[in-house]
Amino acid sequence: MKKQTRGVDRKRAERTADDRLTASVIQQNRQPKTGNMLLNVTQLLANNHSQEILDTMMITHHAVLLPINFFAALLNGAAFATVICATSTRKVREIRLGSFAFIDSLCGGFGLGINILYLNGNIDCSANCALIFNPNVTSGPGVMVTLLRYSTDVLRAAHYSHFLLNCIYNWFFFVHPLQFQFFSRHRNFYMVLAFCWLFSLAGSLVVLVDGLKYHSDNIYFALRVYVIPVVHTLYTLISFGLD
């Protein structure tokens, strides 16, 4: 009987020591840390601090990925100007535009992945819309394939209008709020922006109708490739309205 009692007391003492050690480690990890961000994330993972992990990821998103996406938007605008002004062949112009679209969609895909993980009460309306509507992960490759394989005059015009909207949208939101507040003071600003939205939405619908018309034998392919600009435009409208 005494041996059993001693065994129970020993286990309780071990548990108490373990609890104190765990509390000490948690207290140390709560203190501010400097150094490598990757090391901090690894330590947070080890201590299962999911909220701090997500906060660190969002800081990385705003500090690294948003500037990359901003420059990708500038490249998108450069591609649009190149397509309009260049004297090279049509195929070369479309390859340039598709390449810039791929860069833009790649950056957007990383941002969308982080927004999906950040679903713990701190997520904002635009990120919530991104979770539901954002097709950035596939828009670049899809548009590139579309431009190179099924390039008609109407189709190209629709895609160019879609990219023009994307450039405007990215520009105003990645320099938000300084530039946006400056331009929004002008009376005709929202009229011009609304015209771009409507023009892009109309062009996107033309792309969808064109895809369903010429690929009625493969509805899945048509929807996968041609519905992207429509969904992206709707996402832009909803996200801007909620912000």
- The mean pLDDT value for 45-51 works out to 49
Structural domain that includes position 179: 51-242
Q: Rounded to 10 degrees, what is the CA torsion of 127, 227, 168, 198?
A: -110
Give the model's pLDDT for residue 122.
41
pLDDT tens sequence across 67-92: 555 555 555 555 555 554 555 565 55
Is the confidence at residue 38, as pLDDT, over 50? no
In a shared domain, residues 5 and 104: no
pLDDT tens sequence across 154-200: 555 555 555 555 555 555 544 444 444 555 555 555 555 555 555 55
196, two tokens: 């771009």
pTM of the model: 0.28
In a shared domain, residues 14 and 107: no
In a shared domain, residues 7 and 113: no
In a shared domain, residues 189 and 95: yes
The single residue listed with the structure tokens 């709707």 is 234
In a shared domain, residues 183 and 227: yes
Give the model's pLDDT for residue 102.
52
In a shared domain, residues 138 and 228: yes
In a shared domain, residues 169 and 207: yes
Residue 146 confidence class, pLDDT cut points 50, 70, 90: very low
Give the model's pLDDT for residue 163.
54
Cα–Cα distances (Å) from 99 to 89, 111, 237, in that order, read 16, 19, 25
Q: Rounded to 10 degrees, what is the CA torsion of 213, 215, 216, 219?
A: -120
Cα–Cα distances (Å) from 123 to 114, 115, 188, 196, in that order, read 11, 7, 32, 28
In a shared domain, residues 5 and 125: no
Angle, alpha carbons 98-103-107 (nearest 5°):
140
If one counts the domains in the chain, the total is: 2
Cβ 153 vs Cβ 114: under 8 Å? no
pLDDT tens sequence across 93-106: 555 555 555 555 44
C-alpha distance across the termini of the chain, in Å: 70
pLDDT tens sequence across 198-226: 555 555 555 555 555 555 555 544 454 44
Burial of 143 (0-12, 13-18, 19+ CB in 10 A): buried
Angle, alpha carbons 194-95-108 (nearest 5°):
50
In a shared domain, residues 70 and 44: no
In a shared domain, residues 78 and 43: no
Q: How many CB atoms lie within 10 A of CB 67?
A: 12
Query: Which letter, b or e, does each residue of 90-103 get, where b requires 16 or more Cβ atoms within 10 Å of its Cβ?
Result: eeebbebbbebbbb
Q: At 235, which amino acid appears?
A: Y
- Counting every residue written for the chain, the total comes to 243
In a shared domain, residues 12 and 118: no
In a shared domain, residues 102 and 155: yes
